[in-house]
Structure 1
Amino acid sequence: MSQNLEKLTAYEILEKRQIKDLNSEGYLLKHKRTGAHITLLLNDDENKVFYIGFRTPPKDSTGVAHILEHSVLCGSKNFPVKDPFIELAKGSLNTFLNAMTYPDKTVYPVASCNDTDFKNLVHVYLDAVFYPNIYKEEKIFHQEGWHYELENKEDDLKINGVVYNEMKGAFSSPDDVAEREIMNSLYPDITYGLESGGDPEDIPDLTYEEFLSFHQRYYHPSNSYIYLYGNLDAEEYLTFLEENYLKDFDSLTIDSEIRQQEPFAEKREIVKEYSIMEDEPVRENTYLTYNVSMGSSLDRKLYAAMDILDYVLCSAPGTPVKQALIDAGIGKDVYSTMENGIAQPYFSIVAKNADEDQKEAFVSVIEDTLKKLVEEGIDRKALQAAVNYFTFKYREGDFGSYPKGLMLGLQAMDSWLYDKKEPFMHIEANQTYEELKEAITEGYYEELIDRYLLKNPHKTILTVKPVQGLTTRKDEALHDRLQAYKNTLSEEEVLAIVENTKALREYQEAPDTKEALETIPLLKREDMKKEATPYINEERKLAGSTLLVHDIFTNGIAYIKLLFDLKQVPAELFPYVGILKSVLMGVNTEHYSYGELFNEVNCKTGGIDVQAGTYGNAKDLSKFLATLEIKTKVFYENRDEALDLIREILLTSDFTDDKRLKEIIAECRSRMQASMTGSGHTVAALRALSYFSPTAACAQQLSGMVQCRLLEDLDSSFEEKKEFLKKNLKALIHYIFRPENLLIDYTGTEEGLAGIEEKIAEFRSTLFTDEVSGTPYVPELSKKNEAFMTAGQVQYVCRAGNFLKKGLPFTGALKVLKVMMGYEYLWTQVRVKGGAYGCMCTFSRSGDSYFVSYRDPNLEKTIETYQEAADYVKNYVADERTVTQFIIGAVSELDTPMTPKGRGNYSLAGYLTGLTMDRIQQERDELLATTAETIKGLSCYIEAFMKDDCLCVVGNGEKIKEEKKLFLSVDQLFH
């Protein structure tokens, strides 16, 4: 889609090129007046993307870059509402809307398929970054960053603020602590040695003046990186950019250089701490890390090769370094990470759940293994598998719900930020992968290990060790420090803080004027698509099984999913399905060791995954479908080999290797605990729903608290339980992998199905047909109202219930209510005023509903907010424009663009749940017809689900103990 940009006299075209890898036309331009750099990727993708980014290297850990990222989206010159971001989130057809702070840059991206909507988003974001209201209203800084809080002069002095609480949550995750300390340890003298997000202990040191100064220094076109992607008129956008923004600025010399860390003369050993509960064990809770700085992100080949090294050394099962450490008993979860999104990339090997006194052995095992690999060579099959895996991933270009143009644009920054002439270096990668393939036989990877991992003195051995009760002691010290500070204040100064607290609250509660709100551009209801996205389902019979076909163009890739109904699995075995999905692909099979199997899979396919699924029944609330699903993506020509590998995995996996099973259980436990620590809102919501929802109770068995407790039990008493475990796994496959349980799901074109019937018939003939017996699993439901204590500094608070059981039918208008609650009531009360980082709600077709907060400093106060929600809705007053805004936001959630794989999954879910297109269309019609009166009438839905009084909280142990009267039981999150 060639465009004539030469006539745009405000810009200089530095480069124009065809990027065949991405079927795009690429441009690199420079704005003549300001020096702003612009990259264009023009193609036929309707999901258009824009961002503006700035180099923002912090000078300290006060989080100024992060607080500014939040704050510039709180009103601007042309859009003077208090929160344009939320106005857009609840009233645009965006497919992406956010902002991100990185260690050395801040990026503001938007995406939309609608031309008018996209222009609106671009306009609001440009105005936000260049002309924010932060200079007019100091309260924005206090709300988003930090402020002293004192509602009455007799109260204890506190600190609150959205970013302050967000980072308290981030600093509560030991995985996050370890990751952050790794980078800090390698680059102590430059920006990467600081916390750009903000250290909660340092955030209160940031002044309003320093905050403004940071914006003045860096948020200027001369320091900007502007990106446009997709099927758009580049001339129109560049003209708009020039006429509305860039022409008003002059060129400025801005020192935002990302300085290089001087290489270390010798490796450094560093010890850091993280908090655990008072009664959590110190043993087997340490992170041991081996970290090296690896050249420059402007080394095109090295940048991609780091992924290959990550795979062959430590990430894939049975890889040499991973296995050597596990065999030595060092860590229960061993993995490697590579960070190539900064100027000086680094590579780390981590042994988690290790002991501090294993440090010397940890280093010795790693270096001995690496030396052996350099001398004897890396397994060629592993290298081939790694290169194939990343080549397939690159060519597929499937980023799930994230727009492809966004992910390409963010990756472009990995080179562009450090060399303004090089935005295309890493996103045009077919040639790079060809070179990496050829390098397999040239000793290239062995040389990288020798040069960067062994002989490189720029290295740290970082130990992150647990300290019991550290959070409590820090909280007490902060409390004492704040009260001591308060005692130094005069009565007038104390009253001033009280007054400021009140003034901030009044600012937060004051509605925007009608005139201000109308500055935010808004689509009309008639701009909304009236028809729901149809399923693409064709049901066929294939060799005695059902084949569900989604005939969609996939560029020669077959997406195949084999679903096995779990209806025959007895109750006592059911939780072990969660174990089985992790064991399959992780143990030896008839023809492969588990390491060889992983490589074989990635040589022949784009991956094979095993997962459990739960699907509610759209017609009968008491029914649900639970499945074990094996999915693969593969080029058509390799389809039969992929099915042979799946058969091998399902039917010949060896469960007799005690050592390997013990390793898998330990790793699963470690990773599940890490996931639960970082996603406390998900834990709380699923647990609360499981008190009354059969579908959620089933999911609890497979991936929730029941699964967590099972893993803890098996890990801590493996020798005692191992025979029982093996017996259950062997029994399970006979209950599950049976012809009568099989459904085959296929996304692709007819070409990819050629000759498949014979292959499926062969596959079916090998499935189990022996007699099985037992009472199938039926969920047991009871209200538990639990709190789960952690060493974290924040809470995740959930209230849940069901409205359908109270006789209220689902309506599409509830999707509008979700947007209104999430971006108005809950946003204002829980986030803006309460200081939580986030808040969410759900009203599902099954009637299952919840409110949940994320990284929340409060507990009882948040519950009170939930309890007042129905009254708020009952008395809700809104004009036509506001309701239209919520409708647009709801339609936006429904109409997120789908990849071919995503469209197939959408169609499959409709088939499995029995949700008809007629019903989906009816719900859409109800959504589009919503009025202010409709919303008010939905208050009874909130009253209905809140009557169930199902409560679950994950969070700070001391806070939970203070509020223990709210719960029927209190327990530690982990045992």
Structure 2
Amino acid sequence: MKFPFKWLFVGSFFIVKSFDMYAVPANFEEQEVQEFGNDIVHTYKHSSGLLVRWIENNDPQTSFTLGVKTPTTDNTGVNHIIEHTVFTGSKNFPSSTLFFDANANYPHTYMNASTAGDMTLYPFATPYKDCYFGLLEVYLDSIFNPSMLEQPYSFYEEAFYYDPETNKYGGVVFNEMKGASSQIGRAIFRSIRDVIYEDTHYANDSGGAVEAIPTLSYEHFIDTYHNYYYPSNMQAVVYGDLEIDKVLNIFDEYVTPHTNDKNDVDVNVDPTLKYERIEKNYYTGGEGAYVIKSFVLPEIIDSSQLTELDLWLNTYVVNPLSPFRQYLNEKEIESVEIFKDSDLKRPVYSLIISQVNPYDVTYVEDCLNNAVNSLWETEELLQLEYDTLEQTRLSISQQDMSASRGIDISQMIITDWVHHRDEMSYYTTKDYLYHLEDIDEFYGQKFLQQADEVTLILTPAPNIQPNEFEPLEHCEIAQEDWSPVVNSMRAWQKQYSEKVLEPIELKKMIMNIDMPFTTYEIDKMKFTHFQSETDLLTTEIYLPTNHIAQKELPYLFLYAHCLQEVADDLTPFEGILKVKPTALEHKNDYMPYLKIELTSLADKNQINLLQKANDILMEKDDDWYTSQVDKVIGQFYGNFQNDIIGTLGVLTKGGQDGYKRYMYEAHYPFYIFCVSCKKQEIENFGDSVKEIASQIGGRNDVSVAVTCTDEIAEVSLNNWEEYLQQNLISDYDTHEYIFDKIDKDSVYYKKGQVDYLLYNYDSQKDYIKAIDYLASAYATKNYLHPEIRIKKGAYGSGMQALFPNTISVYTYRDPHYKSSEEIIENMSKALKETDIDEKMRLAKSEALCDFQSQFGILSSDMKKSSVLHALSIMDINSNYIKKTQKQIIKVKPNQLKKELKTLDDMIENSQKGICIRKD
């Protein structure tokens, strides 16, 4: 389980100004204006106490984020349940499916809500102005005037209920947390906070403990809402090219009636630090132990100090070439991660060694302590410091190009407000990093030596679940009294007021990827430049691999993994190199590729990075290759744990044809190959990988694409031409792969309390059609969501059309997959009885939104160019994107009815994947 290092590399600081440019409503006072490069941050204070910040710039990707301080006072998940339930209808929008109505009606690039240990966030982002104001009204009315205050049925739907007819337990959050409780990463996070913050609100589970959720009463639920949801306990941040006077007037309309004299809640508490060392069990399944050493910083430090510490840790602890990591490697301890929990009064950094044999815990703990003690005597490592700074500057540039920039900045501002820190740290940190020339080698020693240390040992529990309980024995409603409650809840779920969301004109939603590019060919190799005004250079290379014999494919897949691993450890740092085997569909066949992606600052020669990685790979010994086989096996298990639907998606490809069957070969059969290598059943596999490396190079159908400025493109493409010519494969034969098909269902077992189900259908068409996207959106909105998520209480269910030729139906965190199978198999018949004419418009809106998201139309230039590059290799004109959107709008009701009749055949001919909880 990897814990990503958490960086703050964003923004840019310049000067502070104070001036007015817009007419501010009477109840608002503009308190401050600060300029950070192209961003101008306006701070407004409403008479109710609500703080609103506007990040003004010319970015059309506008966003909204509202944060509420919500400390977690128990384990019932009450704040999490409120976050869900506010969107089940409001005063102006009384629909029990309001969130999903808004999701379908207003195209967006992000729409969500989330609950942390001390705050709840409500963000959305959209480039459409009409949609922005529509979503703004939905969010504000839901937050300030939720229908849940007037009736309890939405509370039962989202929290917990018992259905006497099926003898099953429901509740969306209840089932969500049953799934979450089986994730080891979450178990580690909760254990760290439980130990360091015992007897404080941070020791409670903000998502909700499965055994505690049924104990939550409606009265406590409502009281908690009133305790936290008032203007002076909130901050909102809006971002982008907005009519701010209109935005503030809408805020004023919703906020003014809720004005009171209450102060905001202070969530900040000191850690109790009762233990220096403690051992605990985890219950997610697995056999390995976790040795964790946490450092609780001694004081509240400012953003620049925290940044210096991050840089020091990344250099002297995280870097695989650091003496710290080298020492642990010598002791055969390679799985070391660092987890940063900075959303606290005293930030916590934890070193985590995973998958330790329980009999080796003492040995590993001693080695970790020795490695930490050696940090206090570390000499300055200038090359590693340089690498860290270069990686940091690349991260800054990548984040500035991100389509989620508005949400990222907004959430950082609100997080700092909650924790009484500099709310402009997003910007000041970037400025500090830009001007930093050296990393202080003593900085980490200074803070970590003063920190409080806590050692936590997590070991797998026996094959019993902790605190086994019967939910009905703990909830306030007796078993015999649930029938009228559930009947009333079902009646409420069917209600839909005549008040509907204002429809958006669908034609306004149609967008294309407007990205200029030029293409040319040399020796049957294609070179493309996608024009982008950026200080980055991004390169994609598709190297055909159908000249690799079928029996050698496992070595090709292992080569891709090993080249990636070598590149990650290269010094000096030149850029990021990603490698993966893939395949792209063509009209009549498919082509397998090795896809190489390189990202660097524009002044770097990326070929040096690729050549150096290959050279080092050739020098690796057998022990190193054996360690890589172990990593592949570990990553495979990790993906099984953390991406179950994705795993089922790949497993079901084993029963399909073409590129899908090839991608299956790179998954489970490759894993089996690695297990055989580990058992020494396959010899000299390292030498075979090196042989594969000599077979990768220039040949027919190679495609190279760069995304950068015109000036950089000319030099870069010339370099790649020369490199491929020098590494030309002139004499080769191509192979047709013949794989065995896996015709049975893919089933695997996982310790947990919920099920997962996936039907994967190969459309057998040239490519997915417009009507497939529409049918998927229609079936999700009008059948799968109400029948499986709402009635059964599963966390999610839907149907999705996936380019180029896959249609899938799924349900996840499902209390009982068998009943969902029956519902899905009855889908065609049930949808025949729906009023298609009335419901098509929302389905079209949602289909357009899904399509645009899938093709990255509103994403960064790097994502757009990647999509266009793949389409060009597949010989698909980029006009397909705009043409398909127009066709979605033009679909007639009778055409959709005809398509829905085919769903029976689709389900019957799908490959099925199931993940069943292990009892």
TM-score, with structure 1 as normaliser: 0.87
Among candidates 638, 642, 647, match of residue 611 of structure 2: 647
Partner of 2:139: 125
Provide, for residues 573-595 of structure 1, a one-character-per-residue CA deviation record: whole Å limited to 9, x for no partner.
Answer: 2233332222114349xxxxx74
Q: CA deviation at 1:871?
A: 1.4
Contact 2:270–2:345, Cα closer than 8 Å, also in 1: no
Partner of 1:832: 790
Provide, for residues 470-524 of structure 1, a one-character-per-residue CA deviation record: whole Å limited to 9, x for no partner.
Answer: 34x76xx43xx358789x99xxx5432233333333433x1413x13x2x22212
Partner of 1:451: 447
Partner of 1:971: none
> One-letter code of the match for 1:432?
Y
Q: CA deviation at 1:856?
A: 1.3
Q: CA deviation at 1:163?
A: 0.7
Contact 1:655–1:729, Cα closer than 8 Å, also in 2: no
Provide, for residues 115-149 of structure 1, a one-character-per-residue CA deviation record: whole Å limited to 9, x for no partner.
Answer: 11100100110000111111122111111111223
Partner of 1:609: 578
- Deviation larger for 730-739 or 79-88: 730-739
- Deviation larger for 462-471 or 214-223: 462-471
Report the Cα distance in structure 1 between the residues aligned to 2:784 and 2:585, rounded to whole angstroms.
27
Among candidates 697, 707, 710, match of residue 661 of structure 2: 697
* Pairing 1:56-67 to 2, within 5 Å after superposition: 56-67=70-81
| 1:898 matches 2:862 | no
> One-letter code of the match for 2:598?
T
* Pairing 1:467-866 to 2, within 5 Å after superposition: 467-471=461-465, 477-478=468-469, 481=470, 494-508=479-493, 510-513=494-497, 515-516=498-499, 518=500, 520-529=501-510, 532-533=512-513, 536-542=516-522, 545-553=525-533, 555-587=534-566, 595=569, 597=570, 599-601=571-573, 604-605=574-575, 607-617=576-586, 619-620=587-588, 623-638=589-604, 640=605, 642-654=606-618, 656-702=620-666, 704-715=667-678, 717=679, 719-721=680-682, 723-740=683-700, 742-756=702-716, 758-767=718-727, 769=729, 775-804=735-764, 810-844=768-802, 846-866=804-824
Provide, for residues 658-697 of structure 1, a one-character-per-residue CA deviation record: whole Å limited to 9, x for no partner.
Answer: 3322333323322332222111111112222331232222
Contact 2:746–2:913, Cα closer than 8 Å, also in 1: yes
Report the Cα distance in structure 2 between the residues aligned to 1:884 and 1:864, rounded to whole angstroms.
28
Q: CA deviation at 1:783?
A: 1.1
> One-letter code of the match for 1:290?
K
Provide, for residues 156-207 of structure 1, a one-character-per-residue CA deviation record: whole Å limited to 9, x for no partner.
Answer: xx43211111111111112221122122222223222111011112111211
SS at match of 2:551: coil
Q: CA deviation at 1:916?
A: 2.1
SS at match of 2:91: coil
Report the Cα distance in structure 2 between the residues aligned to 1:678 and 1:824, rounded to whole angstroms.
29
Q: CA deviation at 1:543?
A: 7.5
SS at match of 2:125: strand
- Equivalent residue pairs, number: 898
Report the Cα distance in structure 1 between the residues aligned to 2:647 and 2:400, rounded to whole angstroms.
28
Q: CA deviation at 1:760?
A: 2.6
SS at match of 1:94: coil
Cα 1:932–1:741, aligned 2, differ >3 Å: closer, same or farther?
closer
Provide, for residues 395-439 of structure 1, a one-character-per-residue CA deviation record: whole Å limited to 9, x for no partner.
Answer: 332575x5210111112223122238x32122343322146x345
Partner of 1:25: 40
* Pairing 1:26-41 to 2, within 5 Å after superposition: 26-31=41-46, 33-41=47-55
Report the Cα distance in structure 2 between the residues aligned to 1:814 and 1:788, rounded to whole angstroms.
29
Q: Percent identity?
A: 18
> One-letter code of the match for 1:784?
K
Q: CA deviation at 1:771?
A: 5.5
Partner of 2:846: 889
Partner of 1:246: 255
Report the Cα distance in structure 1 between the residues aligned to 2:830 and 2:326, rounded to whole angstroms.
57
TM-score, with structure 2 as normaliser: 0.92
Contact 2:104–2:842, Cα closer than 8 Å, also in 1: yes
> One-letter code of the match for 1:673?
Y
- Deviation larger for 686-695 or 752-761: 752-761
Report the Cα distance in structure 1 between the residues aligned to 2:889 and 2:808, rounded to whole angstroms.
23
Report the Cα distance in structure 1 between the residues aligned to 2:625 and 2:599, rounded to whole angstroms.
27
Among candidates 98, 110, 121, match of residue 96 of structure 1: 110
Q: CA deviation at 1:820?
A: 1.9
Cα 1:135–1:147, aligned 2, differ >3 Å: closer, same or farther?
same
Contact 2:113–2:121, Cα closer than 8 Å, also in 1: yes
| 1:11 matches 2:20 | no
Q: CA deviation at 1:739?
A: 4.1
| 1:115 matches 2:129 | yes
Q: CA deviation at 1:547?
A: 0.6
Q: CA deviation at 1:656?
A: 3.7
Report the Cα distance in structure 2 between the residues aligned to 1:79 and 1:812, rounded to whole angstroms.
30
Report the Cα distance in structure 1 between the residues aligned to 2:474 and 2:234, rounded to whole angstroms.
41
Contact 2:706–2:717, Cα closer than 8 Å, also in 1: no
Cα 1:410–1:297, aligned 2, differ >3 Å: closer, same or farther?
farther
> One-letter code of the match for 1:616?
E
Provide, for residues 303-362 of structure 1, a one-character-per-residue CA deviation record: whole Å limited to 9, x for no partner.
Answer: 3235424533444434443343333234x5221121223443211111111023433333
Partner of 2:181: 171
SS at match of 2:541: strand
> One-letter code of the match for 1:801?
Y
* Pairing 1:225-240 to 2, within 5 Å after superposition: 225-240=235-250
Cα 1:877–1:734, aligned 2, differ >3 Å: closer, same or farther?
same
| 1:368 matches 2:370 | yes
Report the Cα distance in structure 2 between the residues aligned to 1:512 and 1:861, rounded to whole angstroms.
26
Report the Cα distance in structure 2 between the residues aligned to 1:825 and 1:313, rounded to whole angstroms.
54
Contact 1:139–1:504, Cα closer than 8 Å, also in 2: yes
Q: CA deviation at 1:223?
A: 0.3
Report the Cα distance in structure 1 between the residues aligned to 2:102 and 2:916, rounded to whole angstroms.
31
SS at match of 1:584: helix
SS at match of 1:140: helix
5+ residue gaps in structure 1?
A: 589-593, 959-975
- RMSD of aligned alpha carbons: 2.8
- Deviation larger for 159-168 or 923-932: 923-932
Report the Cα distance in structure 1 between the residues aligned to 2:177 and 2:305, rounded to whole angstroms.
33
Contact 1:171–1:177, Cα closer than 8 Å, also in 2: yes
> One-letter code of the match for 2:537?
A
Report the Cα distance in structure 2 between the residues aligned to 1:313 and 1:674, rounded to whole angstroms.
26
- Deviation larger for 143-152 or 370-379: 370-379
| 1:417 matches 2:400 | no
Cα 1:324–1:165, aligned 2, differ >3 Å: closer, same or farther?
farther
Report the Cα distance in structure 2 between the residues aligned to 1:727 and 1:549, rounded to whole angstroms.
37
Partner of 1:392: 394
5+ residue gaps in structure 2?
A: 1-16
Q: CA deviation at 1:883?
A: 1.7
Cα 1:485–1:92, aligned 2, differ >3 Å: closer, same or farther?
closer
Report the Cα distance in structure 1 between the residues aligned to 2:180 and 2:474, rounded to whole angstroms.
26
| 1:912 matches 2:868 | no
Among candidates 255, 279, 283, match of residue 274 of structure 1: 283
